Amino acid sequence: MTQVAKSLPKCLEIGDQKLDIVAANTYDDNISVLLGNGDGTFQPQQRIALGDVNPRAVKVIDVDGGGKPDILTANDMGSVSLLLGNGDGTFLASQMFATGGLTRSLAVIDLNGDGKPDVVTADNLRNQLSVLLQR
């Protein structure tokens, strides 16, 4: 946990089923995944590099509807990163989607009623929202 604190994690997300922790490490350009043991202790953190994106916030949600939790990050460098989960605490290589702006936070909701979750991001510098509709 000391290592996580050193890298200035900006957002923690605790999964409600497996009690894991995912943190965005803004200045390290990566995220930390700590799988829970179910007794309040965690396995050693895995770090997943995202590239030069400055992740600010993280959300864990099943984006593609496959029943396995995925990770979304809101990135300072104007993008959202998506890491599709394998369901065992490992993830596929990140995919990046441009949002423009200084993306600091995100929300996931089905905006167009097609049953697929979409992503809304907030740029708190220019007071703008970006919408990413899932195809």
Binding site for Ca ion (CB under 5 A): 62, 64, 66, 68, 70, 110, 112, 114, 116, 118
Nearer to Ca ion, 47 or 116 (CB): 116
Per DSSP bridges, beta strands 30-34 and 55-61 are: unpaired
**What phi and psi, each to the nearest 5 degrees, are found at residue 119?**
-120, 135
By CB atoms closer than 10 A (0-12, 13-18, 19+), residue 39 is exposed
Nearer to Ca ion, 64 or 78 (CB): 64
Identify the bridge partners of residue 60 per DSSP, sorted by sequence position: 71
Nearest approach in angstroms of CB 94 to Ca ion is 14
Nearer to Ca ion, 19 or 120 (CB): 120
Nearer to Ca ion, 87 or 126 (CB): 87
Q: Which residues of 6-19 are buried (b: 16+ CB within 10 A; e: fewer)?
A: ebebbbebeeeeee
Nearest approach in angstroms of CB 39 to Ca ion is 26
Nearest approach in angstroms of CB 112 to Ca ion is 5
Nearest approach in angstroms of CB 120 to Ca ion is 11
